[in-house]
Amino acid sequence: MDFNTARINMVKAQVAPNKIHEPELLDSMMAVARENFIDSNYQDLAYSDIQVTMGGSRRCLKPLQSAQLIKAVEVKKGDKVLVVGAGTGFEAAVLAKMGAEVFAVESDKELADKGKKLTQADNVQWLIGGLEQGWDAKGPYDGILFGGAIATIPHKSVGQLTGDGALAAIVGKSGDPVMTLTRIKGLSGGGHPEPILETVADVLPGMGPPERFEL
């Protein structure tokens, strides 16, 4: 398979026509070899408009979803950006190519170890740990995005933003036919989430609804 041609076609046919016009984002998606971040058995599907297995039971976001999340946090060169649920690091790699200083949190050690290797030449730092905690020690961040769906936006994550930073996440519960890509702007934006568009994705580990205690 000609991955270079597939990458160009992905950006031109899936990403750019869907109101993604930022040159830095489009160029970076052209530059990152997405197939390397996919399970080796499914690399031929790396540029398809579907969620594809990264490894184990985890699937990556669709290419357009990655672009929409990155666009929503309005990344500028030199920004500090946190990727929660970074998986093998595709979004982190794209952000790094855009000139951001990237911090990636992943709970699955196998995926994180692969991500570290794939992004070792980029400006990406990794933490293996619970996703709900974010990475407070390295904050505050100009942008925070989640590499999968979450049931609710954690207050801790909002608290790790700069005063004018932006957080973007696909919000919904497992099994929901429709979820909402949502943005929060700044520390005071937690009570005013901005719905951007409807989509659907796999819920990240540990980021589903809290368990209810019943007698």
Q: Domains of the chain: which residue ranges?
A: 3-199
- 188 or 112, greater pLDDT: 112
Using one digit for the tens of pLDDT, what is the confidence trace for 178-188?
Answer: 999 999 998 77
Q: What is the pLDDT of residue 65?
A: 98
**Residue 210 and residue 154: Cα distance in Å, rounded?**
11
Is the separation of the CB atoms in 92 and 119 below 8 Å? yes
Using pLDDT thresholds of 50, 70 and 90, give the confidence band for residue 215. very low
- Nearest 5°: CA angle at 98, between 134 and 157? 15
Using one digit for the tens of pLDDT, what is the confidence trace for 56-90?
Answer: 889 999 999 999 999 999 999 999 999 999 999 99
Using one digit for the tens of pLDDT, what is the confidence trace for 14-56?
Answer: 999 999 999 999 999 999 999 999 999 999 999 999 999 999 8
Using pLDDT thresholds of 50, 70 and 90, give the confidence band for residue 211. low
Of all residues in the chain, what percent carry a pLDDT higher than 70? 96
Using pLDDT thresholds of 50, 70 and 90, give the confidence band for residue 190. low
| Dihedral in degrees, nearest 10, Cα atoms 52, 94, 174, 185 | -170
Average pLDDT, the chain: 94
Residue range 121-147: mean pLDDT, rounded: 96
Is the separation of the CB atoms in 68 and 197 below 8 Å? yes
Is the separation of the CB atoms in 94 and 29 below 8 Å? yes
Q: What is the pLDDT of residue 212?
A: 53
Class of domain 3-199: alpha beta
